[in-house]
């Protein structure tokens, strides 16, 4: 219990910092921070599928697109955003069940190809079904939520602090992000989470212990897909414009990079990876034309020396420091004797 208190304190401090982050900043900074929160939600879902259940998916971007289009179509039809989001999440959950059925027969890179094909199919449907999705022109002018702080007024004040619509949407993204993180934390700490880990480590042994590996595989895939749908539902009101190429295969690869860089199988890994992929290029823009080279080189070096990502690197550093502390304590005990 003592070890959990510092973690809770760090999390509380991080939330306070995130609440204060956009105050006094422009719309661009708020939009970048909102993108980081949205991608963190999608990456957490992929981390559950890949990092905990061991199932490779290249369709997370497609599920974001499905969630975004469902939310956009419903809000443009007059349905309130808060009612459209559950429909998008549940819809992506059931689509994930359908796509997850091939995961029962194929594994590894074969499963990656299956999800890759689904991602390409989803983009083709979004592009060709113009009567529904708007085709290559996409959908625009999606209404934003208009409850409490998130009113449709151009500017409002809370505690005499002016908030633009972009900052209001940031706080909405932050609220959804915190709620989703708490739900995911409870899931990975539950017996279901331990079952996901057992499926990843040794499927045969997990099945011999009585676990229904088929059901667990489908559940992991569906929950990860639902998280992608939730992230897509956040994209619609924040950007207010969606089109098919925004959810192409490169989009899924980007989310996969977030999970791998942050640390696959670590709870905070996707958040850290999303920060690297979204925020680091912005911090490196002072290097002008060299920022992409520096960013790419940093990622390559990290993957070479720490395949487990930044979280794995942090655990290695802590592991290297702990033996020294033990030796010092033993020395002190020996000296006292």
Q: Is residue 42 assigned to a domain? A: yes
**How many Å apart are CA 44 and CA 38, to the nearest integer?**
10
Query: Is 6 inside any structural domain?
Result: no
Measured CA to CA, the distance from residue 46 to residue 40 in angstroms comes to 10
In this predicted structure, what is the pLDDT of residue 160? 47
Q: What percent of the chain has pLDDT over 70?
A: 85
pLDDT at 35: 93
pLDDT number for residue 280: 82
User: CA 193, CA 8: separation in Å to the nearest integer?
Assistant: 20
Is residue 196 one of the residues assigned to a domain? yes
Rg (CA), the chain: 22
Task: Please tell me the number of Cα atoms within 13 Å of 236 on its side-chain side.
Answer: 30
Statement: residue 45 has pLDDT above 90:
yes
Say whether pLDDT at 335 is over 50: no
Compute CA distances 264 → 39, 72, 98, 257, 308, whole Å.
15, 31, 25, 10, 7
Place of tokens 């079904």: 129
Domains contained in the chain, number:
1
Q: With respect to residue 19, please indicate whether it lies within any of the assigned structural domains.
A: no
- φ, ψ at 153 (rounded to 5°): -60, 145
In 10 A of CB 20, how many CB atoms?
A: 9
Report whether 32 contacts 173 (CB < 8 A).
Answer: no
314: in domain: no
pLDDT at 108: 66
Which has the higher per-residue pLDDT, 108 or 128?
Answer: 128
Structural domain includes residue 330: no
Domain-located, residue 46: yes
Report the mean per-residue pLDDT for the chain: 82
User: What average pLDDT score do residues 87-96 get?
Assistant: 95
**pTM for the full model?**
0.87
pLDDT of residue 181: 94
- Give tens-digit pLDDT for 245-274: 889 888 999 999 999 888 888 889 899 999
Q: What is the pLDDT of residue 331?
A: 41
Res 334: pLDDT: 42
Q: At residue 325, does pLDDT exceed 80?
A: no
Please write the tens of the pLDDT for every residue from 130-182: 888 988 898 988 888 865 544 444 455 544 455 677 888 899 999 999 999 99
Q: What is the CATH number of the domain that holds 46?
A: 1.10.3470
pLDDT of residue 103: 65
Please compute the mean of the pLDDT values over residues 9-22 and round it to a whole number: 86
Whether 223 is in a domain gets the answer yes
The predicted model gives 327-334 an average pLDDT of 46
Confidence of residue 322 (pLDDT cuts 50, 70, 90): low
pLDDT tens-digit profile of 194-248? 888 877 777 777 777 777 777 888 888 899 999 999 999 999 889 889 999 889 8
> For position 337, what pLDDT does the model report?
43
Structural domain boundaries, residue 178 = 25-305
Distance CA 65, CA 39 (A): 13
Question: Which value, to the nearest 10 degrees, does the dihedral of the CA atoms of residues 25, 288, 250, 65 take?
Answer: 20
Least confident window among 70-84, 114-128, 205-219, 221-235: 205-219
């Amino acid at each position: 219990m003592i070890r959990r208190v510092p973690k809770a304190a760090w999390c509380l401090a991080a939330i306070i910092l995130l609440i204060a982050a956009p105050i006094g900043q422009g719309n661009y900074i708020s939009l970048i921070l909102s993108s980081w929160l949205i991608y963190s939600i999608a990456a957490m879902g992929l981390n559950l599928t890949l990092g905990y259940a061991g199932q490779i998916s290249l369709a997370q971007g497609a599920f974001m697109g499905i969630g975004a289009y469902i939310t956009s179509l419903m809000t443009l039809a007059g349905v309130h955003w808060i009612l459209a989001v559950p429909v998008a999440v549940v819809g992506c959950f059931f689509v994930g069940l359908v796509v997850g059925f091939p995961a029962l027969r194929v594994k590894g890179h074969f499963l990656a190809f299956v999800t890759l094909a689904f991602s390409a199919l989803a983009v083709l449907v979004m592009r060709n079904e113009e009567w529904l999705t708007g085709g290559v022109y996409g959908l625009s002018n999606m209404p934003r939520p208009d409850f409490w702080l998130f009113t449709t007024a151009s500017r409002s004040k809370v505690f005499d602090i002016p908030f633009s619509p972009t900052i209001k949407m940031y706080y909405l993204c932050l609220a959804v992000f915190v709620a989703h993180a708490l739900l995911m934390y409870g899931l990975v700490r539950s017996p279901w989470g331990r079952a996901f880990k057992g499926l990843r480590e040794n499927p045969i042994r997990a099945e011999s212990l009585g676990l229904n590996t088929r059901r667990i595989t489908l559940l992991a895939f569906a929950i990860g897909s639902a998280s992608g749908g939730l992230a897509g539902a956040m994209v619609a009101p924040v950007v207010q414009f969606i089109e098919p190429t925004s959810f192409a295969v490169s989009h899924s690869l980007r989310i996969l990079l977030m999970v791998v860089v942050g640390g696959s199988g670590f709870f905070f890994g996707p958040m850290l990876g999303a920060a690297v992929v979204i925020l680091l290029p912005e911090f490196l823009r002072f290097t002008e034309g060299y920022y992409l080279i520096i960013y790419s080189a940093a990622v390559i070096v990290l993957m070479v020396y720490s395949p487990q990502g930044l979280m794995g690197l942090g655990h290695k550093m802590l592991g290297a420091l702990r033996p020294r502390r033990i030796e010092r304590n033993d020395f002190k005990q020996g000296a006292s004797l």
